[in-house]
Amino acid sequence: MHPFRYGLLLLASVLCLVSWANGNAVHVRSTSNTVRFNVTLTWEDWAPAGVPRKMILMNGQFPGPTLQLREGDDVEFLVINNIPSNATVHFHGIEQLDTPWSDGVPGLSQKPILPGGRFLYKWRALQYGSYFYHAHTRGQIEDGLYGPIYIRPDDSVEKPFHLIANKTSDLQAMQAAEEKTTPLMLSDWRQLTSEEVWQGEEASGLDAYCANALLINGKGSISCPGQQAYNYLASAAQKQILGNQSMTDTGCISPMLASAQGDFPHNYSAIPPFMFYGCVPGNGGTEHFLVDPSAKYVSYDLISAAGVSMITFSIDEHSMYVYAIDGRYIEPTLVDAVTIANGNRYSVLVKLDKPAGTYSVRTANSGINQILSANATLTYDTPVQKQQRPSVASIDIHGSIVSSNYTLLNETTIVPFPVVVPSQDVAQTHVLKIDHYNASYRWRMGNSSLPLALETEAPLLYYPSTADPDLTIKSLNGTWIDLIFHVAGDLEPPHPIHKHNNKYFVIGQGTGAWNYSSVAEAMRYIPESFNLKTPQIRDTFTTPAAVTEDTWLALRYHVVNPGAWLLHCHIQVHLSGGMGLALLDGVDEWPEIPEEYRID
Ligand SMILES: *[C@@H]1O[C@H](CO)[C@@H](O)[C@H](O)[C@H]1NC(C)=O
Ligand SMILES: *[C@@H]1O[C@H](CO)[C@@H](O)[C@H](O)[C@H]1NC(C)=O
Ligand SMILES: *[C@@H]1O[C@H](CO)[C@@H](O)[C@H](O)[C@H]1NC(C)=O
Ligand SMILES: *[C@@H]1O[C@H](CO)[C@@H](O)[C@H](O)[C@H]1NC(C)=O
Ligand SMILES: *[C@@H]1O[C@H](CO)[C@@H](O)[C@H](O)[C@H]1NC(C)=O
Ligand SMILES: *[C@@H]1O[C@H](CO)[C@@H](O)[C@H](O)[C@H]1NC(C)=O
Ligand SMILES: *[C@@H]1O[C@H](CO)[C@@H](O)[C@H](O)[C@H]1NC(C)=O
Ligand SMILES: *[C@@H]1O[C@H](CO)[C@@H](O)[C@H](O)[C@H]1NC(C)=O
Ligand SMILES: *[C@@H]1O[C@H](CO)[C@@H](O)[C@H](O)[C@H]1NC(C)=O
Ligand SMILES: *[C@@H]1O[C@H](CO)[C@@H](O)[C@H](O)[C@H]1NC(C)=O
Ligand SMILES: *[C@@H]1O[C@H](CO)[C@@H](O)[C@H](O)[C@H]1NC(C)=O
Ligand SMILES: CC(=O)N[C@H]1CO[C@H](CO)[C@@H](O)[C@@H]1O
Ligand SMILES: [Cu+2]
């Protein structure tokens, strides 16, 4: 340990230092570097976009309070479940090294926390950067159970800021901005509860790809301009899909299109109000960001906790350096806008060198499914408020850049900092077909569809022999596994593939059918589709959109942390519909469950 930090810890022990987190969540930093965090879940009326419904609050707040940590801290996260349903909490992107029982997945790592029950999650923060916690029982993330996690890097971690500027004052300003980095939660909101959505899907047979509002730090609004206005606003791609159909009054592609829902039986008269139709206007207020231009830079950790929306983010007249993704540094990349898939985190440095004034912060759904946006403001905190004119947008209502003068982050140009290369010695290759499964709202990843009922059964960590081979990949510890996702080309959105436990390498992607037995074989035919020299290191990455042609994505991971881990699409209705499977990592070194986590 760094001697200076050790000294501080000794001092802390003498002073019995107690610190308070945001809001009324309490954390205590003790000498053993254990951070304790209590979250009480309640089910209450809340109106983040101005229209009330019951939502999950965390210590009376939405989004939940930020869990602030330092790399190396031990975390004890107590969940007190005071909602009238089962619940669990997952720590998205956290590797859970040697603590597979704290991953928060019912059916895999634990039994659900019953109403009135509690569960203590214990894990060590061995990684730095931006993460978040969220519900992992049924569709509950869409009831609002999520909050940010930030882990301050250890002093030994090299930062990439010298690739932006080398002047000492700039470097100091960027580091200071990072030290004060602020989580910025982006999400979407539905009028219906997650259980109402599931019931509506079962009754109508439809995939509920339609939300009711976008939120920035839990604030948004709903304007209801009408179907004709949405038909007029529709993008060229949306118009092409619509044909002679109309957009819905909530800004969605009509559900009555076989192209949008697949060719399965549907009962349109069973569609519940608000699922696709029934716009209710509301205003839940606007988020305001106040920045200090004398600091030269401000840093935000953009986190998408969205259920269905693919959110593009920009700040008028301000480009930004993306410097970390999914909690790992990259070579900083200057862009005007960034698209954040469900479950991803992008850390950005914004240079505050524009005239004092107020600038619009814009988010828009960039998926073809719906026209949806939310705006906030960013204001220079100076005595003189010079800029009076409206600021100039770099993105439109579809999340597209408005002209070639602006840049949207291009994922394929990203280079990790530092670069790490995966092994070429691959023990297993699995080709996992992603497609509908007998109904528009049912999905599969591989041979079969993960049933929601699995969540209430014996967790696989405890009973690995009960695993269904069609929903399981078993591996030996220390080996390398290739996962090829083959997406059927029937108008499928990008699927954000999230892996629990350690991150994977994104080694290739392309269009067309995957007809190879391994990556090595494919590289003989289509080497340009692979990157094994500077692959991205991610915990969530999207498959390429498959409009008419099939597409594929190749991921490679190292089995290092034995346990039962979920691999799934982070679009919530796709996960509820079965797009996931269990990775039984290290079956030869299966963990022994500590006494306090044993179940009957
Ligand atoms: C968290 O809740 C437990 C049980 O109610 C209590 O004993 C503990 O003091 C609380 N911790 C903090 C930091 O509030
Ligand atoms: C700063 O210096 C380093 C080391 O010489 C160099 O690699 C980097 O490109 C420089 N950065 C800029 C922005 O010029
Ligand atoms: C809309 O288009 C479809 C297919 O192009 C056609 O079958 C249908 O009759 C049309 N409906 C109307 C109301 O024009
Ligand atoms: C379709 O849904 C309606 C309304 O829920 C119901 O009355 C009807 O029986 C359903 N039709 C079929 C064929 O299931
Ligand atoms: C956000 O601003 C854009 C551009 O001014 C506007 O078209 C859109 O309706 C706004 N969104 C909301 C939810 O107010
Ligand atoms: C792009 O920027 C240039 C220079 O600032 C400006 O003259 C031009 O009008 C811009 N083009 C568009 C399409 O906005
Ligand atoms: C993204 O970058 C890659 C590699 O430089 C390039 O081939 C591709 O055309 C770019 N995509 C877009 C949409 O600009
Ligand atoms: C809650 O979890 C328990 C224990 O696994 C299970 O028996 C019960 O069916 C679950 N309740 C619901 C509504 O899923
Ligand atoms: C799917 O089926 C194939 C062929 O039977 C089998 O090799 C594979 O292990 C199964 N499971 C998964 C997850 O792909
Ligand atoms: C699993 O393999 C990793 C990588 O080789 C190693 O670091 C770890 O100690 C192994 N775990 C067990 C429980 O053997
Ligand atoms: C794979 O499929 C593509 C397109 O269908 C074809 O061009 C290619 O030759 C096939 N490759 C192999 C190895 O069969
Ligand atoms: C019950 C049923 O219809 N099952 C089918 C679901 O879809 C898969 C894949 O398309 C078929 O193999 C099953 O027979
Ligand atoms: Cu998906």
Q: What is the mean pLDDT of residues 126-150?
A: 98
Q: Is the pLDDT of residue 107 over 70?
A: yes
State if residue 512 touches ligand 11 by the CB under 6 angstroms criterion. Answer: yes
Domain CATH number, residue 542: 2.60.40.420
Give me the DSSP letters along 508-554. Answer: EEEES----SSHHHHHHH-GGGB-SSS-EEESEEEPPPBSSS-EEEE
User: Is residue 305 situated within a structural domain?
Assistant: yes
Number of structural domains found in the chain: 4
Residues contacting 473, CB < 8 A, separation 6+: 428, 430, 481, 483, 567, 581, 582, 583, 584
Q: 63, 67, 45, 64: which is closest to 55 by C-alpha?
A: 45
Confidence of residue 32 (pLDDT cuts 50, 70, 90): low
Which atom of ligand 3 lies at the shortest distance from residue 244's CA? 1
Q: How high does pLDDT run on average in the chain?
A: 94
Confidence of residue 235 (pLDDT cuts 50, 70, 90): very high
Kindly report which listed range (121-130, 169-178, 484-493, 577-586) carries the lowest average pLDDT score.
484-493
Same domain, 446 and 407: no
Protein residues whose CB sits closer than 6 Å to any atom of ligand 12: 437-438
HEC sequence for 437-485: CCCCCCEEECCCCCCHHHHHCCCCCCCHHHCCHHHEEECCCCCEEEEEE
Q: Which of 261, 283, 305 marks a domain boundary?
A: 283
Same domain, 270 and 292: no
In 126-268 the beta strands, taken as DSSP E runs, fall at 129-135, 146-152, 182-189, 213-216, 221-222
Nearest-CA residue for atom 8 of ligand 2: 163
What's the CA-to-centroid distance between 511 and ligand 7, angstroms?
Answer: 14
Q: Is the pLDDT of residue 16 over 80?
A: no
For the whole model, what pTM was predicted?
0.94
State if residue 404 touches ligand 7 by the CB under 6 angstroms criterion. Answer: no
User: Is residue 174 situated within a structural domain?
Assistant: no
- Residue 387 sits at φ, ψ, to 5 deg, of -70, 115
User: Is residue 354 situated within a structural domain?
Assistant: yes
d(CA 475, CA 593): 19
pLDDT tens for 378-424 read: 999 998 877 778 999 999 999 999 999 999 999 999 999 999 999 99
d(CA 369, CA 247): 10
User: Is residue 123 situated within a structural domain?
Assistant: yes
d(CA 347, CA 338): 10
In 125-254 the beta strands, taken as DSSP E runs, fall at 129-135, 146-152, 182-189, 213-216, 221-222
Q: Which three-class secondary structure state does DSSP give residue 412?
A: helix
d(CA 56, CA 455): 20
Q: Is 456 exposed, middle or buried (0-12, 13-18, 19+ CB in 10 A)?
A: middle
Same domain, 447 and 541: yes
Q: Which domain holds residue 395?
A: 288-413
Nearest-CA residue for atom 4 of ligand 12: 438
Same domain, 380 and 437: no
3-state helix, strand, coil in the chain (%, to 5): 20, 35, 45
Q: 349, 257, 261: which is closest to 301 by C-alpha?
A: 349
User: Is residue 153 situated within a structural domain?
Assistant: yes
Nearest-CA residue for atom 6 of ligand 2: 163
Same domain, 257 and 394: no
State if residue 478 touches ligand 10 by the CB under 6 angstroms criterion. Answer: yes
User: Is residue 580 situated within a structural domain?
Assistant: yes
Q: 401, 392, 430, 427: which is closest to 338 by C-alpha?
A: 401
What's the CA-to-centroid distance between 438 and ligand 12, angstroms?
Answer: 6
Q: What is the mean pLDDT of residues 342-362?
A: 97
State if residue 423 touches ligand 10 by the CB under 6 angstroms criterion. Answer: no
Same domain, 449 and 562: yes
Task: Write down how long the chain is.
Answer: 600
User: Is residue 564 situated within a structural domain?
Assistant: yes
Which atom of ligand 6 lies at the shortest distance from residue 403's CA? 13
Nearest-CA residue for atom 11 of ligand 4: 267
What's the CA-to-centroid distance between 205 and ligand 4, angstroms?
Answer: 11
User: Is residue 178 situated within a structural domain?
Assistant: no
What's the CA-to-centroid distance between 539 and ligand 11, angstroms?
Answer: 30
Q: What is the mean pLDDT of residues 279-292?
A: 98
What's the CA-to-centroid distance between 430 and ligand 9, angstroms?
Answer: 8
The pLDDT of residue 466 is: 94
Contact between 426 and 391 (Cβ < 8 Å): no
Same domain, 572 and 475: yes
What's the CA-to-centroid distance between 86 and ligand 8, angstroms?
Answer: 6
The pLDDT of residue 494 is: 97
Confidence of residue 17 (pLDDT cuts 50, 70, 90): very low
Sheet holding 345-351: strands in order across?
A: 213-216, 182-189, 297-304, 345-351, 320-325, 328-335
